[in-house]
Amino acid sequence: MNPLFANTPTSIFAAMSTLAVEHGAVNLGQGFPDFGWPDDVVGRAADALLHESNQYAPMLGLPMLREAVATHYRAHQRLEIAPADVTVTSGATEALAAAILALVEPGDEVLLFQPLYDAYLPMVLRAGGVPRFIRLAPPDWRITEAALAAAFTPRTRLVIFNNPHNPSARVFDETELGLLAAACVRHDAVALTDEVWEHVVFDGRTLRPLASLPGMAERTVKVGSAGKIFSLTGWKVGWIVAPPDLAVPISKAHQFLAYATPPNLQAAVGYGLGKDMTTFETMRRTFAASRDDLVARLTAGGFSLLPAEGTYFVCVDLPASGIALDDASFCDRIVRDFRVAAIPLSPFYAEDPVTSIIRLCFAKKPETIAAGADALIAARAALA
């Protein structure tokens, strides 16, 4: 048995959702919307289930979806991509695993930004990579030139970069992207950019993909996911966009991980990606309104929150909210005693964790947000 996986704790998202069900808690933990999805996209999938193929899809993805991904990124992010550069995967998680397995050789150094999404590190270690961490800290979570200079070495092969960032809810700015791109070029490193939250950005922001910076197109593997774009997290349809020298070995890893992804869901995602700009703007406005609702309620209730620039999440500063418990203890208490689930940030650190911040998901119906906020305010009154 491999001790890496035998000793890995259950994902904090699964653990908190299980506790939420057990205690009948309002679930503001794991990131999934509770208010439905685009009916036309789901209808397209239903139609494809009934009337189209239910056999293996092509290994690299349905040609119409590969085309749709390329067209979508041209329209929304001004990326010049050929459909041949797109590989469809079973969610971003499989895309990340395939990329890491294909690109990392034993002894290669891999840069990771903490707090880090839980799927990265175990795969890097299993591939024999040597992780090096860049620690981002609240309240500003900024990437600095000094931190990059200290982390990059001549053995740096891969940089895994998540933007918009889960869990901090930051959208990294031009200065930070410029510093990171320059460091990748200088060290001839490949960037694996997890941009699954690319459409969930607020207050007039747009995502600047790292691949669009000078010198980056030829060294970037971009990962996307339909789950976040269409509020369909259960579908697990993702993709990789990469130049052929990187895409080919990654597709070889993909062929042994999942081989292919349900064709009917692919057809529906291909249809959805072609919808007009207002569809995506409306989606952003809906999520921003939910964010504002939760932030207003909690601020009025004495909580101190950090800015939420993108993703479904907003972070709460516990000490600034008058709460002395650490993040894990607070989350454990509130799910059991106050029936509201949240996610502590410390599990997102492999070393030197920040223990003062929790993450809340606001992609919820108004009544869920109201119930969650009331429970949190009651918890603060009792625990502060």
What are the Cα distances from residue 144, in Å, to 78, 110, 261? 27, 18, 39
Q: Does 168 sit near ligand GLN (CB under 6 A)?
A: no
Asked if 130 and 350 touch (Cβ cutoff 8 Å), the reply is: no
Q: Does 117 sit near ligand PMP (CB under 6 A)?
A: yes
116: how many CB neighbours lie within 10 A of its CB? 25
CA 369-170-232 angle, to 5 degrees, is 55
Choose, by CB under 6 A, the member of 4, 5, 8, 11 that binds ligand GLN: 11
H helices of 134-276, in order, are: 145-151, 174-186, 226-229, 244-257, 263-273
Which residues, 6+ apart, have CB-to-CB distance to 58 below 8 Å? 260
* Stretch 117-156: interaction string toward ligand GLN, x if CB under 6 A: ----------------------------------------
* Stretch 250-289: interaction string toward ligand PMP, x if CB under 6 A: ----------------------------------------
* Stretch 339-378: interaction string toward ligand GLN, x if CB under 6 A: ----------------------------------------
Asked if 51 and 202 touch (Cβ cutoff 8 Å), the reply is: no
Pairing outcome for strands 304-305 and 238-241: unpaired
Please report the beta strands in 106-163, taking only residues with DSSP state E, as ranges in sequence order: 109-114, 130-135, 156-162
At its nearest, how many Å lie between ligand GLN and the CB of residue 234? 11
Tokens 């999942």, residue located: 258
Asked if 26 and 340 touch (Cβ cutoff 8 Å), the reply is: yes
State the DSSP code for 115.
S
At its nearest, how many Å lie between ligand PMP and the CB of residue 343? 11
Question: 350 by DSSP, 3-state: which?
Answer: coil
Choose, by CB under 6 A, the member of 15, 20, 28, 30 that binds ligand GLN: 30
**How many residues in the shown chain lie near ligand PMP by CB under 6 A?**
14
Q: Does 89 sit near ligand GLN (CB under 6 A)?
A: no
Q: Does 8 sit near ligand GLN (CB under 6 A)?
A: no
At its nearest, how many Å lie between ligand GLN and the CB of residue 238? 12
User: With respect to ligand PMP, which residue has the nearer C-beta, 183 or 200?
Assistant: 200
Stretch that binds ligand PMP, among 49-57, 86-94, 202-210, 260-268 (CB under 6 A): 86-94
Choose, by CB under 6 A, the member of 13, 23, 63, 288 that binds ligand GLN: 13
User: With respect to ligand PMP, which residue has the nearer C-beta, 27 or 225?
Assistant: 225
At its nearest, how many Å lie between ligand GLN and the CB of residue 313? 7
**Which of ligand PMP, ligand GLN, none binds 115 (CB below 5-8 Å, type-dependent)?**
none
Q: Does 29 sit near ligand PMP (CB under 6 A)?
A: no
At its nearest, how many Å lie between ligand PMP and the CB of residue 91? 3
Q: What is the 3-state secondary structure (H, E, C) of 222-250?
A: EEEEHHHHCCCCCCCCEEEECCHHHHHHH
Cα–Cα distance for residue pair 261/92, rounded to 1 Å: 12
Tokens 């940030």, residue located: 345
* Six-digit token string for 320: 């600034």
Choose, by CB under 6 A, the member of 29, 38, 61, 91 that binds ligand PMP: 91
Task: Summarize as ranges the residues that interact with ligand PMP (CB under 6 A).
Answer: 31, 91-93, 117, 162, 166, 194, 196, 225, 227, 233, 236, 238
Binding site for ligand GLN (CB under 6 A): 11, 13, 30-31, 166
